[in-house]
Every structure is written in C-alpha cells, then in structure tokens.
Chains A and B, each alone.
Chain A
Amino acid sequence: MKDWRYRLADQRGTLIALALFLLMFTIYIANHPAGLTANVAQTAANKGVLLAFIAMAQALVVITAGIDLSVGMIFLLTNCLASWIVVGAPVPTALGVAGVLIAGMVCGAINGLLVIYGRLQPIVATIATGAVYFGIALLLRPFPGGSVNEDLADVFTGKLFGVVPSSLVALAAVVLLVWLPFRRSEIGRAAYAAGSSESAAFMSGVPIRRGKFAAYTLAGLLAAVGGLFLTFFTYTGEAAYASGNGYTLWSIAAVVLGGVSLYGGKGSAVGAIFGAFAARTTGDMLFVFDVDPLWQPLLQGIVLMLAVSIGAFGLLRVRNRLEWFG
C-alpha cells in the first residue's frame, strides 16, 4: 500500500465528520433564503465555535481514555470570571484574558491531578470537580451580569476583511497553536499511548503521567477559550447550570461524531470540531426547513441517535462474537 492510503485511513474519522458537516451545511445553505453570505457564515460560525472549543477540550481527555464531565462547568466558570476581569484599557484587558486562560488551566490541572495521582476514575472525579467549578461560577455571578471589553469582543465575533468570520480564524489559530504542537509532541503521543494501552505504554517507558496531565490541563485551557468567547458573544457572565450541563453532554456527542473513540487512543480534536459543527448545523437545518420549533429538540435527538447507531453496522462484519467485548 502507498503512504497516502495509510494517511487517509488515519484521518478517516475526521474526514467522515467533515463530510457529514459539509453535507448538512450545504443542505442548510441551499435552503437558506439568503444563501451563503458573509453574515450567514458569521452567524453559523459564532454558533459553532463555542461547542467546537468544548468538544476539542473533551477530545483531548477522551484520547487518554478518560472523560471530563466538568468541561461545561469550566466553561461557565471562565465565562463568569471573564465578565469581571476582561474589562477596561488594553493592558488590564490583556491581563484579564491571561487570567481567564490560567484559571481554565488550573481547573483542568486539578482534574488531571485527581485522576493521575489521586487515582480516581475520571467520570466521578470530574462530576465532583464540576460541582465545585459550578459553585465558584455561582459565587462569581449569583445573578447574570457583568461586562466585557466590547471592542475586543467585537473583534473576535465580527468579520476579518469583511468576509471571514473572525471566530473561525481564532478557532484555526487555537488548532495551530495548541492542538498541532500537542499532537506532534512526545507528550501528545504519550497521551495517545496511555489511552490506547496503558500497560503497553508503561512497559515501553512512555511518560504516561505527563501525557495525561497535559491533556487534562490543555482541556481546561480550551474550555476557558470557549468561556472567553461566550463572554464575547453575550457581553455578560451567567452561571446557568442547564447550559453548562448541556455543553458537557453535547461535547461528548460531538467527540463521538468526530470519530474520537470513547475507549481512547484514537481520533483527533479536529474531528471533534467538525463533529461539533455537524451537531450545531442540525439545529440550524431544522430552522431553515421551517420545522415547528417545538419539534426541533426531538428531531435533533433522533438525528443524534441515528448518527451514533451508524457505527453498529460494523457489527455485521464481526465474525467472531468475542470481538463484541472489545
């Protein structure tokens, strides 16, 4: 086989997610009354990037065979924090942005420490830390409010050169600055190895702990970027429990749609981004088809159910029933 076929196979999950998203987006645009204008693209991008950041965060942790159920709460916490400190003159604003990002990293690092050194199961550890992070968010904003440096917010939510949605550019920048270095580094490979087979990774002398810790910490960072953008969109901070929970749950769905295996070791955060976009476009599609808004959640659920069931067709090819059990 030629190299490109292996490279293609490696990216299969991501490409399927991309295809799924493009298909849905095309249908959406084709039926949109305005077509593909810069404004339509901007609105779609701004809706999509929030979940995309959270899904990237989730993907990092899922790759290590873990799960982060606190990611939505970190998102809320950083949103509430940003509504306090990302204000004022350029310098305080910049410091505020740094503070928000650091706060997210600290949250992620705490998760990582509990899982790696506390040897707690990720699912329960992050349920608990999620409660703590939500509590802190609530402490910061008992009631919705606050403000943000609106100039900065408008830069990140507007259009670059009047065409390209700047939120997409920011997303691409994060992929380039955070995801790719991680993916290409020894630490990132350690995260994949730990997710694929922790015992084999240990025997091979892979720095498992550093890899996992980096994954959890960067997940916190990405969730904080999401929180920052939420603040840019809404100009306020709000500790809305249902919203945080919803983002956590949809991030898992996006990750799976994006071809990242919940069993770890396989997939890419880029796939998770497309998974997130695809999930978001479902809702928009129903809108352009003039579906009664009441029916939208149900149809969205059914689409999600069908999407996750597609993988089951692989079962028909299983000829040794023991393979059912992984």
Chain B
Amino acid sequence: MDVAPIFRMEGISKRYGGVRALENAALTVAPGRIHAILGENGAGKSTLIKVMAGVVAPDEGRMTLEGREVKFASPSAANEAGIVCIFQELSLIPELTVADNIVISNPPKRFGMIDRKQQRRIAEDALARAGAEDIHPLALVKDLPLSRRQMVEIAKALARKPRILILDEATSALTAADVSKIFAVLKRLRSEGLALLYISHRMNEIAELADECTVFRNGRNVATYAAGTKSDTEVVELMIGREYSHIFPPKPPRIPVDRPPVLECRNLSWADRLNDISLTVDAGEVVGLGGLDGQGQRELLLAFFGVLRGLSGEVLIDGKPIRISSPAAARDKKIGMALIPEDRKTEGLMLPMTVRENLSFAALDLLARGGVINRGAEEGLIDEMIRLLAIRTAGLDIPVGTLSGGNQQKVVIAKWLMRHPRIILLNDPTRGIDVGTKQEMYQLLRRLADAGAAIVFYSTDYDELIGCCDRVLVLYEGAVKCELAGDDLTERALIASALDIDDRDVALRARMGA
C-alpha cells in the first residue's frame, strides 16, 4: 500500500452470548481507495462495520484514526469523526420527508429552529451529488419505493461530508441504472480522497470498483490482496475455506408424466408487480425463480399462498382451477401448500415463544381434537421433525430466538413439514445461514421432491439455483423473461437474462459492472 492509512483496527473481538461474531479481526483503510470486504453471511462483516460506525461496542481491540486511538460511544460519535455508514437495514425514518432525513443528524439551524430553506438546499445538493435529482426533497420516505430509498440513504451519507464512507450491500435493491450512477459517484469520491469501504456479494461490482480486497471468514480477516490478483474461484475458496464443489445433491432424470401438474398458473397478473405469468410445477420437481432481487418473485409466491388481493389470471391445483383467498385456505389438505416466508424473524417465527410452540404452530388444527391439543401427538411429531432436520437445540422449551440462524430456519421449514405439504414455496430460505446448514437444506429439498412434493424455490444466490433446481424461471419486471433447464442453466445465462441483456454482452457487462 503506497498511501498512509487513515484508519486502523486491530485485535477486535465481539461476542453475542456464546456466539463469536468477531475474533481478533484487523482492518486498515487508506484514503483515496475503495476497499472491498468479502465474506459469507455471518463471516463477521456486518459486525465489523457496526463496530466502526459506533453501533456496537467491541469487547476487545483498539481503533486508531489518523494515528490517534478512538472509541465511539454511539453512531453520532462515529459520524463526528467522519465515519459514515450506509447500513443494509435502512436507517431512514419513514414518516419524515426526504430532506428531513438527509439532514437528520445535524440539521441547519437559525434562532434555535431548523432552517428549512437551508435544509432544502443541503438536501437538493446531496441528492444531486448522489445522482438522484428525480427524488423530491419534500416526499415522505415511506412513499418511496425501496430503490429510491436506498438512493436517499446514499445522499444522506454524502450530506454528512464523510472522510470514510462505508457501503454495506448498499446496491442490493437498486436498479442497474442506479448502480451505474452510484458507481460514478463512488469513483468521484475516491478521486476526492475519501476512503471507501465496499461490501457486496456481487463479484462483478467488486471487480469494477475495488482497489484492494479483504476476505473475512469466521469472524476474522483471512486475506488482503490487491484487486484483480486473484481469480473468482480462489476468492470463493478463501471465503468458504475449502474446495467449492459437490455441495449439491445429484438431480434425478426427469420422467414425463401424464398427470396434470400439481401447481399451475396461467396469465397471472397483480398490480404492476406481476405481469402475465404462466408456469407449471410437477410433483417431484424443483422449479427455481431467478432474476435480480425485487422483480416480482416474492409477490408470485405470496400470490400462490393467498395473500394478495385482486389477482387476475388462473391458479390450478392438480389441473383444477381454484381460488385461494388466505394462507388458511392454502394450507388446507385439499391444496396442501406451505410457504417458507422471506423474513424468518418476523414472518416465520415467534421469536420469544418456545421451539415446541413454534414447531407445532402451523399444525395445531391437525394436532387438536375439539380445540384441545393432543400433547402426545404433538410430542411425537416434534421428535420426528427434530430428527428429520437434525435441529440442534438445547431443549424444546427454550425460546426459538436463542437458536442460531440456521437452526431457526430449520424450525420454520419443520413447522410446515409437519403438515406433509404437497406444494412447498420457499422464499430465499438460505439467506443469512451458515454453509453447513445450507448443504443440509439442499439435500432436504431434493429428498422432499423425490418423495413427491412440488417445490418452487426462489433464491438470490445463482449457484443455488443452478445446483438445486430442475428448471429456473428468470423474472424481470414481474414477467417471466426466460426458462432455463439442463445444460442451458448456467451462471452466464442466468445473469444475462436477469439483467435483460443479450448473452453475448454478458462477459463484457459483468466486467463493467452491470
């Protein structure tokens, strides 16, 4: 490194209860550089950033800013030192306006009151710097779509005049056009001498932006290298710490059947989010949903599960048209549908309730006679599920929130498997869980399919789609862009159709950064 570092952290450790999030981690940041941080979910990246930004206090270790040791008691303390973070979970206040949010930590004042004219100027200036002039400063944040909110978040960070800017998955909800705007902004900031920390799962983004990269694994930094000196495969191996192969179960050959598909939809449309979608899922088949995040995949699953109102088009179960008006109807024995929802913490589980109560919650109607729960039957079914999914828990009567992320997700899946569903919808089930559990889940999916279940599997991870699915439908702006199967199911093809571009351009575009 040829530039003097501006910020250094050494020996940083942080534990949450018994879980080690960071162990003796170190990082050095230099001005005028973009530093990428890579690592799997749970590798400690988020905790590291939270320590830097003053959200979390480390148990051990020291941080120095321009050679002076610093400690941040709160996010505002870090902000004052010039460290500004754009968090993965947004830090915008929904009921306030865009301008209010941009100046929130230090509003301009006149006579003790907030100077609205000045605030407006600052906001417009910051929005322009972020390349988001289309956002009105007086709009309420809650009325903006997710991608616009993320732009506001970036503008808000810029308005604080940071010296170190941290972007944690800041582009995950953005459209391709926004991403290229942001990249231009980031490059300009780099040339202005800012230190930038960039965290992303998108290798092509890192390839375009980063000057150097640090890989995290199991709570510590395992390698730092200049960008472009390692191949993608080498990086992935550093991230997972072993050979990156053979983690998917083999796919059995498909035998055509003359029964009608278990789940089918024809010309399904909803609001402006789903656009004329038709698909079929046979028994024993795993059908993947691909595409960039937010292209209607979640809505499609919710539509099947009876959550959305005002659907047009048809849903057919076993070839018979049917109208599903609630999850209660969807889980009914005649349909036998299950949905593993997007957010296990708020939609899948009741965190303070016990493992037992969570496991049997979706099957209470089967376990109760005359409204009274048959405890013996409950116990039996729970034992079966714990064994089947190898759920690691210290007991059935501890809050499910104390389990690790992977085991929590297993509980969500198990609670639905207790009903022996015929149709299983999964909404990005492997997000934020460890590699080992992911593998178990891939095996489980295939076993369920082999036992005759029809599975719809949405994932933001392309490798998973390729490894697990018999077919993948790529969605783009709420419509099916293409269907990939067999040898056509490659990362290249997935990316190409996800970005809605011609296959030939992919290699080029990927290097350019979407």
User: Which A residues form the contact surface with B (CB < 8 A)?
Assistant: 1, 3, 6-7, 9-10, 181, 184-186, 189, 192-193, 195-197, 200-206, 264-266, 318-322
A185 touches B94 (CB 8 A): no
* Pairwise interchain contact A319-B270, C-beta atoms closer than 8 A: yes
Please give, as numbers and ranges, the residues of chain B lying within 8 Å of A9 by CB-CB distance. 140
Tell me if A205 and B79 are in contact (CB < 8 A). Answer: yes
B74 adjacent to A205 (CB under 8 Å): yes
- Give Cα A6 to B93, complex, Å: 17
Known: A181-B113, A205-B79. A197 touches B93 (CB 8 A): yes
Complex interface: chain B residues within 8 A of A195 (CB): 95
When chains A and B are docked, how far (Å) is the Cα of A322 from the Cα of B305?
12
Given A320-B307, A320-B309: A265 in contact with B93 (beta carbons within 8 A): yes
Interface string of B94-105 (1 = CB under 8 A from A): 111100110011
Q: How far is the CB of A62 from chain B (nearest CB, A)?
A: 13
**B104, A1: Cβ atoms under 8 Å?**
no
- Residue contact B309 to A321, C-beta cutoff 8 Å: yes
Interface string of B54-98 (1 = CB under 8 A from A): 010000000000000000001110010000000100111111110
Q: Are B91 and A200 in contact, CB atoms less than 8 angstroms apart?
A: yes
Residues of chain B lying within 8 A (CB to CB) of residue A186: 107, 109, 114
Distance to closest chain A CB from B47 (angstroms): 15
Q: Knowing A193-B104, A200-B91, A321-B308, say if A6 contacts B75 (CB, 8 Å).
A: no
**Cβ B270 vs Cβ A1 within 8 A:** no
A135, B149: Cα distance in complex, Å? 50
Nearest-neighbour CB distance to chain B for A198, whole angstroms, equals: 9
Residue of B nearest to A266 (CB): B95
Candidates B87, B96, B112, B271; contact of A189 at CB < 8 Å: B96
Sample of 17 further A-B pairs with CB below 8 A, known A184-B113, A200-B94, A321-B308: A3-B138, A6-B138, A10-B97, A185-B113, A189-B114, A193-B104, A197-B94, A197-B95, A200-B91, A200-B93, A203-B75, A204-B75, A205-B105, A206-B104, A265-B94, A319-B310, A320-B309
> Is B302 close to A, CB under 8 A?
yes
Q: Are A205 and B138 in contact (CB under 8 A)?
A: no
Residues of chain B whose beta carbon lies under 8 Å from any beta carbon of chain A: 55, 74-76, 79, 87, 90-97, 100-101, 104-105, 107, 109, 112-114, 116, 136, 138-140, 156, 270-271, 299, 302, 307-310, 326
- Least Cβ–Cβ distance between A219 and chain B, in angstroms: 19
- A3 contacts which chain B residues (CB < 8 A)? 138
A-B contact pairs, 26 of them (CB 8 A): A1-B139, A6-B97, A9-B140, A186-B114, A189-B100, A192-B93, A193-B104, A195-B95, A196-B94, A197-B95, A200-B94, A203-B55, A204-B75, A204-B92, A206-B104, A265-B93, A265-B94, A266-B95, A318-B309, A319-B309, A319-B310, A320-B299, A320-B307, A321-B308, A322-B302, A322-B307
Task: Establish whether residues A184 and B96, one from each chain, have CB atoms under 8 Å apart when the complex forms.
Answer: no
Once the chains bind, are A320 and B302 in contact (CB under 8 Å)? yes
Q: Nearest residue in B to A4 (C-beta to C-beta)? A: B138
Which of B90, B95, B107, B309 has its CB near the most chain A CB atoms (within 10 A)? B95
A125 CB to nearest B CB, Å? 22
Other-chain contact of B114, A184, A200, A203, A322 (Cβ < 8 Å):
A184
A181 — nearest CB in chain B belongs to which residue? B113
User: Nearest Cβ distance between residue A7 and chain B, in whole angstroms?
Assistant: 7
Q: Which 10 A-B pairs have the closest CB atoms?
A: A205-B76, A6-B138, A265-B95, A203-B91, A196-B95, A184-B113, A205-B105, A193-B93, A205-B75, A196-B93
A181 to B110, CA, bound (A): 12
Residue ID in chain A nearest B112 by CB atoms: A185
CA distance A205 to B326 in the complex (A): 41
What residues on A are CB-neighbors of B104 within 8 Å?
189, 193, 201, 204-206
Minimum C-beta distance from B427 to chain A (A): 12
CA of A321 to CA of B326 in the docked complex: distance in angstroms? Answer: 9
List B contacts of A196 (CB < 8 A). 93-96
Q: Is the CB of B94 within 8 A of A206?
A: no
CA distance A56 to B333 in the complex (A): 53
Which residue from chain B places its CB closest to the CB of A263 in the assembled complex?
Answer: B95
Inter-chain contacts of B156 with A (CB < 8 A)? 204
Complexed CA–CA distance, A191 and B376 (Å): 51
**Complex contact A201–B308 (CB within 8 A):** no
**Alpha-carbon separation in the docked complex, A195 to B326 (Å):** 32
A192–B141 CA distance with the chains assembled, in angstroms: 14
On chain A, the residues within 8 Å of B307 by CB distance are 320-322
> For B76, what are the chain A residues with a Cβ–Cβ distance below 8 Å?
205
CA distance A184 to B100 in the complex (A): 11
With A and B bound together, what is the CA distance between A192 and B96 in angstroms?
8
Task: Give complex CA distance A193, B74 in Å.
Answer: 17
- Shortest A286–chain B CB gap in Å is 36
- Minimal beta-carbon separation of A215 from chain B (angstroms): 15
Shortest Cβ distance from A321 into B: residue: B307
What residue in chain A is nearest B92 (Cβ atoms)? A200
Q: In whole angstroms, what is the CA distance A264 to B94 when docked? A: 11
**What is the chain B residue whose CB lies nearest that of A267?**
B95
In the complex formed, the residue of B with least CB distance to A3 is B138
| B116 CB contacts on chain A under 8 angstroms | 184
Most buried by B among A197, A201, A202, A265: A197
A206 to B105, CA, bound (A): 6
Q: Measured between C-beta atoms, what is the minimum distance from A99 to chain B in Å?
A: 26
CA distance A320 to B271 in the complex (A): 10
Given A6-B136, A7-B138, A206-B104, CB of A319 within 8 Å of CB of B308: yes
Contacts of B140 in A (CB 8 A): 9-10
Report the Cα distance A319→B326, complex, angstroms.
13
Chain A positions within 8 Å of B270 at CB level = 319
A200 to B101, CA, bound (A): 10
Q: Do A204 and B74 contact each other (CB < 8 Å), given the known contacts A1-B136, A185-B112, A319-B309?
A: no
